[in-house]
Structure 1
Amino acid sequence: MIRSLILAGALAVIAGTAHAEEPIVGNWKTASGETAVIAACGGSFCVTLKTGKYTGRKIGTLAGTGGSYAGEITDPAADKTYSGSGKVSGNSLRMQGCVLKVLCKSQTWTRL
């Protein structure tokens, strides 16, 4: 009986861990004041604008785990795509886009 309880408890912990969301998932206020949503999509995370001039536009795809992510970020105003990264620290997300990994620009987003 005790063995069954221990096994059931271990399985519950494993199942809960497997379904835990990544820190990047959620709604974020961008540096320009718009709202972006980051959600799981096909093994990575899609960044889509929810408010502002470019509402509904996908502006990035990032992959990673544990708070550090890398992929592509699009500047919707210029319609240019850059190599990008994101790093979550508490309720802040530092987004960075780079050209040739030399010329980089970063922004800090805040979790809503």
Structure 2
Amino acid sequence: MKRILAGTVAALLMTAGAAFADPIEGNWKTQSGATAGIAKCGGSFCIKLKTGKHAGKQIGKMQASGGGKYSGSITDPADDKTYSGSASLAGSILKMKGCVAAIFCKTQTWNRL
């Protein structure tokens, strides 16, 4: 009986961690075909490339704004330039946007893996 109870408690604790994960956390297929991982880092979410030419490079940091919206910075790994960034999440689609002076913007669509 104690084993069953201990197993049940352990299973609940493992699923509780997943239940409290932010929807943006996880692995995403970028528009270029690389895989990016988004995970908590401090009070923000760090974006790190897992595959592709720039694997291992952190390319962004975002903070939740509420309602599936995020804001922070995003770096183009090809030229190492950092831009004002934002993201919006709708289901398994993540729209990543980087802007210079809030006028010149580029948006990419990423898909959850």
Q: The TM-score by the shorter chain falls in which range?
A: 0.7 to 0.9
**Residue deviations 1:69-107 (CA, integer Å, cap 9, x gap):** 000000000110000001110000000000000100000
Shift of 1:59: 0.2
The percentage of counterpart residues that share the same residue type is 58
Report the secondary structure of 1:60's partner residue: strand
| Equivalent-residue separation in structure 1 for 2:40 and 2:67 (angstroms) | 14
4+ aligned runs moved over 3 Å, structure 1: none
Please name the residue that 2:93 is paired with.
Answer: 92
Pairwise CA RMSD of aligned residues? Answer: 1.6
Report the number of matched residues: 97
Partner Cα separation in structure 2 for residue 106 and residue 87 of structure 1:
11
Given the two structures, how large is their TM-score scaled by the length of structure 2?
Answer: 0.81
Q: Which structure 1 residue ranges, 5 or more long, are not aligned?
A: 1-15
Q: Please, which runs of 5 or more residues in structure 2 have no aligned partner?
A: 1-15
**Which residue of the partner structure matches residue 54 of structure 2?**
54
The normalised TM-score by structure 1 is: 0.82
